């Protein structure tokens, strides 16, 4: 069995696309996934399956949510190995020891074109810092993310790639869950 993290975008936010986590776990169980766990109400799921293709899993989960809850919810799936790399490659944590309350990661659905990434760098004028590593865009919000205009919508529009963002506290908790720590 392979362990995965599924990240659902935009559920249970501001009263929109409400999905109870017990109902989500039950619906994913019908897909044959095992050891399903959720973390907080914002669509973070740990599960195991024999399926080795992340795109197949993303499609299955997306369709399952559409069929079960009637919501079109983008889904990004990362293997345990992918998540370990995500966790290990954040220079704001590992090299600079920045305060984790100011750190986020945007998990991209695919590799953006190099010219789109350059456009994002040219466009950005704020105090935020970011660095890309693989399919992850690591963000430092020195003044807090809530006040920033450099948000996921801007990033997606400039990169022309879908993504979902998680704060570093959630990223850390998901790593602990993958390692069997509760």
Percent of the chain clearing pLDDT 70 (strictly above): 97
Percent of the chain clearing pLDDT 90 (strictly above): 72
Among 45, 37, 7, smallest CA distance to 165 is for: 7
Cβ neighbours of residue 136 closer than 8 Å, sequence gap 6 or more: 86, 89, 105, 106, 107, 108
Among 124, 128, 181, 179, smallest CA distance to 157 is for: 124
Q: How many CB atoms lie within 10 A of CB 96?
A: 11
Per-residue model confidence as pLDDT tens digits over 120-145: 998 888 899 999 999 999 999 999 88
The residue among 15 and 2 whose pLDDT is bigger is 2
pLDDT at 57 over 90: yes
Among 81, 69, 73, 1, smallest CA distance to 33 is for: 1
Average pLDDT value for residue range 67-80: 93
pLDDT band, residue 182 (cuts 50/70/90)? low
Cα angle 163, 73, 5 (rounded to 5 degrees) comes to 60
CA 34/CA 49 separation, integer angstroms:
6
pLDDT band, residue 164 (cuts 50/70/90)? very high
Q: Which domains does the chain have, with CATH numbers?
A: 2-79 (3.30.70.1280), 89-178 (3.30.70)
pLDDT band, residue 17 (cuts 50/70/90)? confident
| CA end-to-end span of the chain | 20
Q: Please, what is the average pLDDT of the chain? A: 91
Cα angle 125, 83, 142 (rounded to 5 degrees) comes to 25
Average pLDDT value for residue range 63-69: 93
What's the confidence (pLDDT) of residue 88?
93
The model's pTM: 0.91
What's the confidence (pLDDT) of residue 15?
66
The residue among 181 and 6 whose pLDDT is bigger is 6
Angle between helix axes 80-88 and 168-178 (nearest 10 degrees) is 140
Cβ neighbours of residue 119 closer than 8 Å, sequence gap 6 or more: 158
Give residue for tokens 């720590």: 181
pLDDT at 32 over 80: yes
What's the confidence (pLDDT) of residue 106?
96
pLDDT at 12 over 80: no
Residue 74 falls in which region: left (phi positive, over 0), alpha (psi -120 to 50) or beta: beta
């Amino acid at each position: 069995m392979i362990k995965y993290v599924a990240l659902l975008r935009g559920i249970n936010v501001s009263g929109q696309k409400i999905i109870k986590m017990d109902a989500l776990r039950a619906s994913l169980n019908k897909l044959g996934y095992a050891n399903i766990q959720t973390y907080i109400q914002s669509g973070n799921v740990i599960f195991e399956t024999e399926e080795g293709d992340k795109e197949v899993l993303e499609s299955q989960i997306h369709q399952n949510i559409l069929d079960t809850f009637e919501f079109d919810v983008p889904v990004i799936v990362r293997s345990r190995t992918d998540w370990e790399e995500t966790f290990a490659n954040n220079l704001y944590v590992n090299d600079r020891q920045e305060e984790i309350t100011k750190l986020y990661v945007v998990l991209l659905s695919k590799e953006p074109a190099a010219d789109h990434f350059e456009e994002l760098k040219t466009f950005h004028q704020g105090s935020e810092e970011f660095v890309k590593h693989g399919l992850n865009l690591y963000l430092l919000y020195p003044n807090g993310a809530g006040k920033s205009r450099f948000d996921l919508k801007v990033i997606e529009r400039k990169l022309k790639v879908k993504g979902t963002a998680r704060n570093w506290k959630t990223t850390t908790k998901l790593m602990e869950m993958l390692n069997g720590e509760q």
